[in-house]
Structure 1
Amino acid sequence: MNTGIFKQIFRRSWILALLGIWVTLALNGCNPSQFKSQAAQVPQLVRSMLSDPQTFNYPLNQDASTTTLLGLLFDGLITQNLITGKVEPVLAESWQISDDKLRIVFTLREGLKWSDGQPLTVDDVVFSYNDIYLNEAIPTDARDTLRIGESGKLPTVRKVDERRVEFSVPEPFRPFLLNTGYPILPAHALQKSVKTKDTEGKPTFLAKWRIDTPPDQIIVNGPYKLERYETSQRVVLRRNPYYWRKDDKGNSQPYIERMIWQIVESTDTSLVQFRSGSLDSVGVSPEFFSLLKRQEKQGKFTIYNGGPAAGTNFVWFNLNKGKRNGKPLVNPVKSRWFNTVEFRQAIAYAIDRQTMINNTFRGLGELQNSPISVQSPYYLSAKEGLKVYDYNPQKAKELLLKAGFKYNDRGELLDAEGNRVRFTLVTNAGNKIREALGSQIKQDLSKIGIQVDFTPLAWSAFTDKVSNTLDWEAALMGLTGGLEPNDGANVWAPEGGLHMFNQKPQPGQKPIQGWEVAPWEAEIAKLYIQAAREFDEAKVKAIYAETQQITQEYLPFIYLVNAYSLAAVRDRVEGIQYSALGGPFWNIHEIKVTD
């Protein structure tokens, strides 16, 4: 998951790419007319999230919707323009890269302040990196993308003078500039909590800025600050009076005074509200596209189509051969199936992805074959030689027979020892599209004799299985994407926090005995390191092309469909620069609401 905080979203920290919809509303869910009249005197935009925020502590957050919300509260040194892809200054007004590519010196803007009026200084930058992001005692996914090269060494950060800060790396690292975009945090509010330990010897920072924290204690530097949070109802943000941005005429930005994030668990309800004329925007799911398109002119809104979304969605198997407390994580019989490459390739051939596009996505999507976003300059297409798995159940059966599987007289698939091939596929419950995909996969695989027990789970139970207990067989999920493949380094590094198909225990988790890395896994990790060291763009593209070929050959993830990024926005909302990478509101400081 790459723009202000969207840069961090695209770093693919443990973030679910929910195929669910971000919705922008203009009313209070319980009493819209009352809330609207109370706030009519100020420009406001109300957005929605599908669940309550998990935390207001950015480094500890692992939820996509919460990360988007936090993007309005915090700025980093730099950002990435989601239209041009260029790196742009934010808290830093400029930077200089040394000739040997080992140092970047940033110069901060003058007069920066926190939301409590305190000065934002170089000391805050040094604190944010040295005490938080680079601190092994703080369990943050940000650290994975800051590790350099094969050694995995971390950069060093030091104060040069009152306005300049230097980042140094042990070896040239091409993506390093983009990796300096993490939010800067306030030393005066948080430093004590990093140094103070609780009864278990952990920094009390781990308990800071929870969702029950009084809003005035959450000190921020972004365009908005927290005004209030009402559990299961809404999060209200107010414009940060100390925010640094001004437009060309000297007017303070952002222009919108209040942002309200309504907590709406049903996207169907949001659609009804949008159609009634009460809402400013709604994410457009494939099933409702035709309906809304017919109402576009009459309803005075525009449907924006950003083309294929930046994220991925896929099926994957638990390839972990390890044990916990002497017990295999995966049934050894099934583990042999899952770790057979022909088995995974057969599954890929047996899934009818075009029918997914036609039925579930109503034609509003494209076949997906790569872990790298189609918007990235390093994306390898099928036309350029990437191996793909078009629907071919006969080919699937041939691969299974070649691998030693066989069929009984009822057409059921058995392994060489006569075991019926049956496994459980899990996903997160409540996501209609993902549940529809899972149901079709169950049906498709039954045609090649495999029984799939499709089981949607509550989000907390699902994430506990795939990232903690590792007690699962197959799963259906997605990840966010971006322009720079190295943002997904923690997916492909065997020790990475998102190496989900063969997960190594993360800090604080129970150890695993017998965990091993396949040669192809190690090769992908090696190539990612090479790509990060290389500055010749043609060579970088060639290296990433090879990684995509390996992933499609060995299929740690079986990619499915890339849906189009669609949103309907009322015409009274001006300044939209729609991007599949960031949606309609990535440039929130430039957007106006007119009545």
Structure 2
Amino acid sequence: MHPKLLEKPMMRDSIRHVLNAVLVAVAVLALIPSVSTAQTSNVSIVEQLKNNANEFQYQIGKQSGSLTLSTIAGPKTFNLAISTETSSTAILTYLFEGLTRTSWLTNQVEPDLAESWTHSDDGLTWTFKLRKDVQWHDGKGFTAHDVDFTFNQIIYNEDIPASARPGFNFRRFDDESGTWKEAKMTVKALDDYTIQCVLPVPFAPFLRSMATAIYPKHILEKHVNDGTFTSTWNVSTEPAKIIGTGPFTIERYDVGERVILKRNPNYWLKDAQGNRLPYLEKIIFLIVPSQATALLKFQAKETDIYSVTGEHFPILKPQEKDGNFTIHKQGPAFGTTFLAFNMNPGKNADTDKPYMAPEKLNWFRNKTFRQAVAHGIDKDSIINNVMNGLGYPQWSSISPAAGDFHNSNVRQYDYNIDKANAILDDIGWIDTDGDGIREDEEGNPIEFSLVTNTGNVVREKVCTMIKQDLKKAGIEVHYKPLEFNALVSQLTSTYDWETIVIGFTGGTEPHNGINFWHSSERLHLWYPYQPQPATEWEAEINEVYIKGSQELNHDARVKYYHRAQAIAAENVPVIYTVLSERLTSVRNVFGNMTPTLYALWDIRYLYRTDP
């Protein structure tokens, strides 16, 4: 999920430019839709994006230039197999590939390292024919043995916390024991360029999941065998030693400043005229401390692309012509932002102290308390005051951008402090000493810490609003932002957090969320790695996610995931806030790009049109 950049003197001119832009921002605000208008106009946005995809045709580009973008946090690791945070994966996905990929135009599965595949009538046996023209970055030929190695020695290796494993742990109900049991698929290299996968159960998103990255056996097998894999390819590794098959390699990493990727001159894909892709020579990630700095870098023309927040839209919109860029709209975001409660009953193995104080664990595990807090989240104010109207209230765990998998009829919690107070009064948690803070039945004041990552202006403002609103309900929130990678460590290893506002990426395939929703998984944030489901509702979500992945009829799949969303909304283990409008500013100097529902381009075909 997702080092500070030294600012240059020229930034002062950018700051002056921002102040000047504010003078005209009032006029631009008139162009921003209200919450209801934004939701209504979303249909026309979707249709336009679909038309863009239908009408798009690749042009022959030229090999030159670079794409420069900013990132708030630097990479935590260069080992994609164990990475769970976007600060690392956003960079590493340019280096590695899977057997399949998903089209940025149509969202359909396409060949990648595999050139074709067949399957048995029951959908359990899949045979992939691999490309014979693919090389690893060091010149070694890619073969089926690399695929065999990736699955059998990395993904299915219990000694490695492989981030892809949850997607390939297939579960079937055992009638004899009355429990769900896990099973692996078998992956076997039949020859150098043929790989066979045999699934234990039908799996609807199988082809899509085969986009998972493949790793080089000749480089990494020794690290698997000697137990050093998890420390291999850390951020201090020499960049040339990070070996993939992708269109780019790492040229250099200046800690806290930038990561520079360079073109892979031996990449296998060619354009229609036989020119070897990619067209771009470099991709440059500037590491910045905040979204505000990222905005200044874009205005100073030091970056080519910027993910626009609703707050910054009225500043940037009047600058499109002079800045030679366009702000592209793509509808509601796929990703989610939510308030989560730590309900982990475990103990720190080193200190033997519980992760959570007993009284706070009791509060957070109380569904009625969580529902009261849900009534204290003012989503409309976040959209209007933080995002300038460019957002959507989120009630369900799956974004409307996912199409019919989204359930729009889940339980909603209107912002109502009076209702929140009434619920807490009914629990019996009242302010007995007149200090404005409620106490539980044992006399413990209802107070807890709240964290989010520094540099994310929207999340920081959301936390401030939550703190202020919950104070009106007699709840004391102690808010403190943390550096992103430190936050990730708290969530996934030390578990020393109480509540958090954080976001997860999303997409069109709901099964990709199983790492978050299944109670046994690593990213089941509020209580990960549960030996058995801690609650009946978690057990039911487990079951519907499993059945949804194994159901091959699309309409039946939709019903399963709708049920999961309804359960989540009723029990609110996390409280969703708002979905941002997907807004991206891009310099008008790129060919082979168009905004679609899924992306702006295929990076391999992107080229610069300026001299």
Q: TM-score range by the shorter chain?
A: 0.7 to 0.9
Q: CA deviation at 1:79?
A: 0.9
Alignment partner of 1:394 is 2:418 = yes
* SS of aligned partner of 1:502: coil
Change (3 A) 1:269 1:327: closer
Q: Which residue of 1 aligns with 2:169?
A: 147
Q: Which residue of 2 aligns with 1:58?
A: 80
Contact 1:132 1:138 in 2 (8 A): yes
Of 487, 511, 522, 1:486 maps to: 511
Q: CA deviation at 1:60?
A: 2.2
Of 291, 307, 310, 1:283 maps to: 307
Which segment is superposed worse, 370-379 or 165-174?
A: 370-379
Specify the code of the residue in structure 1 equivalent to 2:552. Answer: F
Q: Which residue of 2 aligns with 1:594?
A: 609
The residue correspondences of 1:26-425 to structure 2 (distance < 5 A) are 42-149=64-171, 150-195=180-225, 197=226, 203-324=227-348, 327-382=353-408, 385-408=409-432, 412-425=437-450
Alignment partner of 1:455 is 2:480 = yes
Specify the code of the residue in structure 2 equivalent to 1:320. Answer: N
TM-score w.r.t. structure 1 length?
0.87
Of 559, 562, 566, 1:549 maps to: 566
Specify the code of the residue in structure 2 equivalent to 1:463. Answer: V
Q: CA deviation at 1:285?
A: 2.0
Per-residue Cα deviation, 1:121-168 (whole angstroms, up to 9, x for no partner): 111111111111111122212111110013222211001223210111
Change (3 A) 1:225 1:399: same
Per-residue Cα deviation, 1:155-197 (whole angstroms, up to 9, x for no partner): 11001223210111111121222221111111122222222x2
Q: CA deviation at 1:405?
A: 2.6
Q: CA deviation at 1:230?
A: 2.4
* SS of aligned partner of 1:127: helix
Q: Which residue of 1 aligns with 2:458?
A: 433
Change (3 A) 1:413 1:108: same
Contact 2:375 2:416 in 1 (8 A): yes
Specify the code of the residue in structure 1 equivalent to 2:293. Answer: T
Per-residue Cα deviation, 1:388-443 (whole angstroms, up to 9, x for no partner): 11212222222223333334456543323443222221222332211111110011
Identity of aligned residues (%): 39
* SS of aligned partner of 2:585: strand
Contact 1:321 1:516 in 2 (8 A): no
Per-residue Cα deviation, 1:286-336 (whole angstroms, up to 9, x for no partner): 222112111112322110111111110111112223445764432222222
Change (3 A) 1:390 1:230: same
The residue correspondences of 1:422-571 to structure 2 (distance < 5 A) are 422-504=447-529, 517-571=534-588
Q: CA RMSD in A?
A: 2.4
Q: Which residue of 2 aligns with 1:36?
A: none
Contact 1:273 1:279 in 2 (8 A): yes
Aligned residues: 546
Q: 1:332 and 1:139 mapped to 2: Cα distance? A: 29
Specify the code of the residue in structure 1 equivalent to 2:96. Answer: F
Q: 1:263 and 1:323 mapped to 2: Cα distance? A: 35
Instruction: Flag structure 1 segments of 5+ consecutive residues without an equivalent.
Output: 1-14, 17-22, 33-39, 198-202, 506-513
Which segment is superposed worse, 364-373 or 43-52?
A: 43-52
* SS of aligned partner of 1:517: coil
* SS of aligned partner of 1:46: strand
Contact 1:321 1:515 in 2 (8 A): no
Q: 1:57 and 1:110 mapped to 2: Cα distance? A: 25
TM-score w.r.t. structure 2 length?
0.84
* SS of aligned partner of 1:141: coil
